[in-house]
């Protein structure tokens, strides 16, 4: 019973979308969704039983053992609705950079993370240097998923042979990366990505993992967490994710922070239902700290070509995200629902006060 | 007097544009142009003196010692005008790939060369596999010249440290590359680029050098030539280039082939004069084998961003080239002037018969 942290006391009913579902491709199946949903339900029920026997969520090792909620620790009242709107994949393509910078300028997208091995890194690094206030983290990258357009590791290929497929690029899928990469080489590569970002003048505010590779198993997540702690950076982590992943509670410490929930749209949402999904998610937003993970780009020639055989998280998908998250509709929804945009910088300052 | 091969007997007066001027950036100055022009003039005069003393162009070691002209060796009459229209930089960007493939399909651009270290290699490699008849060579790459968008070497960075700038990419300029790269590492890297191309199913028909780096000095050109001979591939080389470069004649052997001339537009041609330059070049084309080196892309968001601080060989430049070399005007000029498009494949078959 030791490690169940679903906050069922709030009776939340948000869309189930943990961040390790930030996947692209065939590996993302509805079957998995159903299995996870079922598992979450079972855990939830067991968790309820646990709560009746001694407030399990505060009495066990793991995240947020403080009696204070994350909201309170951030200095907000218990009914505050805080939202990080987070754009992934910066540096991946010009189209991604251009769309995300436009979204930052709208003031409606509060955060983003950068893929250091990708060829458009220098452009977004220049933006980071010119905008030191921007909330930019690193989207630690162990995959290269677009078949016509690919990249390799930051470290010398000889040193990270287990991270490369037969063509010498990073793996196409997170499953291959997670099953074939040596732990030692993963750690060396992600540390090198952070050091390289810093050498480009990027001061990352947080860390997450492209396609969720670093959440795929305990070994990888332990590396991820160790590196994040060393650099005193918060990682993308939600209480839902903690509660639904068997290995997570045992390796988290009281000083680790999980936000309340992460929302990300999935391939089962049709183009027609795109805005409705987001509108409903925002209207139904519960108090606490929520991150909406989005993927921005234009539906242009570069992006269409890169994602030609890969409509999920593809060009049209990304332009739909861009359209919604820079719209007047979204701006009005934030106001009407008393939702305040925050950044990972605030969470980092709380987690690692200086 | 030993090695002067300007074919002054034809009284040609083509635009002076040797292929090592395939440069991009500040290093490309008019001062250099004037110096080279002056040097060529001096060599030309000395060459004329030499000819009066014994037909120096056939009696010395060097290219085309056979009494047959290149045209004759290719099986054409002495007045034939053969033209290779060659698009550089394939693989560099989506915009370059898309524009060049469109130009190939027009039938008016006969050849191109691929940059193996660049991120869009897989897309053009797929094209090469699907079009085994396409005349695709390798644009051996030792530079990464667009500041917001960059790439590294094919070999493990540890093995080719002298090819990398402080940010771990290939150098921004061909001057840096030529002066800092170790000969051993250059040879290893260009061999690796050829092997990598082959592993992607590309069967290159010829070799040239991105930004002309491998023509920058004798050491580099010797490497280039040794590798090309090993792989039995023709290299971009013109009689004009041979005659105007002091080190070239001494290292060329009778089996090496130089075409008659290379034409490439330069930054001193204004956008308004673009078509006129090409029209005049084509109308004035002399018999022999000529290569026009062009750079194709769309003037789109990806290309504009990549070349934002670099208008020479930039997005608009490339779209102007695309527009002219897929035009009805160009098609008609070829017909009216009895110009036949050929490829490097034909030259390679002649140079290395199987």
- From the list A345, A236, A294, A261, the residue with the least C-alpha distance to A106 is A294
Query: Positive or negative CA dihedral for B220, B222, B228, B233?
Result: positive
CA distance B336 to B178: 42
Nearest residue on chain B to A309, alpha-carbon basis? B123
Model pLDDT for residues B282-303, shown as the tens digit of each residue: 999 999 999 999 999 999 999 9
Q: Which residues on neighbouring strands pair with residue B86, listed in sequence order?
A: B111, B293
Write the CB contacts of A52 (distance below 8 Å, at least 6 apart in sequence).
none
- Residues on chain B touching A155 (C-beta within 8 angstroms): 157
Beta strand A207-209 with B81-90 is unpaired
* Per-residue pLDDT in tens (0 to 9) along chain A, 354 residues: 233 222 223 333 333 333 333 433 333 444 444 444 444 444 433 333 333 333 333 334 445 445 689 999 999 999 999 999 999 999 999 999 999 999 999 999 999 999 999 999 999 999 999 999 999 999 999 999 999 999 999 999 999 999 999 999 999 999 999 999 999 999 999 999 999 999 999 999 999 999 999 999 999 999 999 999 999 999 999 999 999 999 999 999 989 999 999 999 999 999 999 999 999 999 999 999 999 999 999 999 999 999 999 889 999 999 999 999 999 999 999 999 999 999 999 999 999 998
Cross-chain CB nearest to A150 (options B119, B147, B148): B119
A150 to B122: CB separation less than 8 angstroms, yes or no: yes
**Integer angstrom CA distances of residue A298 from A86, A301, A316, B197, B302:** 17, 9, 7, 31, 11
- Cβ(B197)–Cβ(B204) under 8 Å? yes
- Specify the pTM: 0.84
Write the CB contacts of B74 (distance below 8 Å, at least 6 apart in sequence).
B82, B289, B342, B346, B347, B350
Burial group, residue A267, by CB count within 10 angstroms (0-12, 13-18, 19+): middle
CA distance A345 to A353: 11
Nearest residue on chain B to A159, alpha-carbon basis? B156
Model pLDDT for residues B203-243, shown as the tens digit of each residue: 999 999 999 999 999 999 999 999 999 999 999 999 999 99
Interface of A with B (CB under 8 A): 93-95, 97-98, 119-123, 126, 147-152, 154-159, 167-168, 196, 199-200, 298, 300-302, 305-306
B123 to A158: CB separation less than 8 angstroms, yes or no: no
Q: Is A54 left (phi over 0), alpha (psi -120 to 50) or beta?
A: left
Cross-chain CB nearest to B119 (options A151, A298, A300): A151
State chain B's maximal CA–CA distance in angstroms.
58
The yes/no answer to whether this complex scores an ipTM above 0.90 is no
**Integer angstrom CA distances of residue B101 from A235, A282, A299, B126:** 43, 45, 21, 12
Position B110 scores a pLDDT of 98
Task: Give the number of beta-carbon pairs within 8 Å between A and B.
Answer: 87
Q: b/e string for B44-76 if b means 16 or more Cβ within 10 A? A: eeebeebbeeeebbeebebbbbeeebbbeebeb
Interface of B with A (CB under 8 A): 93-95, 97-98, 119-123, 126, 147-152, 154-159, 167-168, 196, 199-200, 298, 300-302, 305-306
Model pLDDT for residues B300-332, shown as the tens digit of each residue: 999 999 999 989 999 999 999 999 999 999 999
B157 to A156: CB separation less than 8 angstroms, yes or no: yes
Burial group, residue A168, by CB count within 10 angstroms (0-12, 13-18, 19+): middle
CA distance B207 to B149: 24
């Amino acid at each position: 019973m030791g490690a169940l942290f679903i906050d069922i006391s709030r009776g939340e009913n948000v869309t189930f979308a943990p961040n390790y579902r930030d996947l692209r491709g065939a590996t993302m199946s509805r079957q998995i969704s159903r299995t996870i949903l079922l598992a979450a339900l079972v855990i939830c029920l067991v968790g309820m039983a646990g709560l009746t026997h001694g407030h399990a969520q505060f009495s066990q090792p793991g995240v947020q053992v403080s009696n204070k909620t994350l909201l309170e620790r951030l200095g907000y009242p218990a009914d505050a609705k805080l939202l990080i709107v987070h754009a992934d994949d910066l540096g991946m393509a010009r189209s991604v950079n251009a769309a995300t910078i436009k979204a930052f300028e709208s003031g409606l997208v509060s955060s983003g993370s950068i893929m250091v091995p990708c060829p458009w890194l220098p452009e977004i690094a220049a933006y980071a240097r010119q905008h030191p206030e921007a909330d930019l983290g690193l989207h630690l990258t162990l995959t290269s998923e677009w078949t016509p357009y690919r990249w390799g590791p930051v470290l010398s290929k000889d040193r990270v042979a287990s991270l490369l497929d037969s063509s010498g690029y990073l793996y196409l899928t997170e499953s291959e990366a997670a099953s074939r990469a040596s732990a030692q080489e993963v750690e060396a590569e992600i540390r090198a990505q952070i050091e390289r970002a810093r050498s480009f003048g990027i001061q990352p505010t947080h860390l997450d993992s492209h396609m969720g590779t670093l959440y795929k198993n305990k070994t990888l997540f332990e590396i991820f967490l160790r590196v994040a702690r060393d650099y005193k950076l918060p990682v993308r982590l939600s209480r839902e994710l903690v509660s639904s992943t068997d290995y997570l509670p045992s390796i988290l410490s009281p000083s680790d922070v999980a936000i309340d929930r992460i929302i990300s749209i999935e391939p089962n949402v049709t183009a027609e239902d795109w805005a409705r999904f987001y509108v409903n998610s925002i209207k139904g937003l519960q108090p606490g700290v929520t991150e909406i993970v989005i993927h921005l780009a234009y539906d242009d020639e570069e992006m269409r070509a890169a994602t030609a055989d890969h409509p999920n998280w593809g060009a049209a998908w990304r332009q739909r995200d861009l359209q919604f998250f820079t719209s007047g509709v979204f701006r009005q929804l934030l106001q009407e629902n008393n939702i305040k945009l925050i950044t990972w910088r605030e969470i980092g300052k709380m987690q690692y006060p200086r």
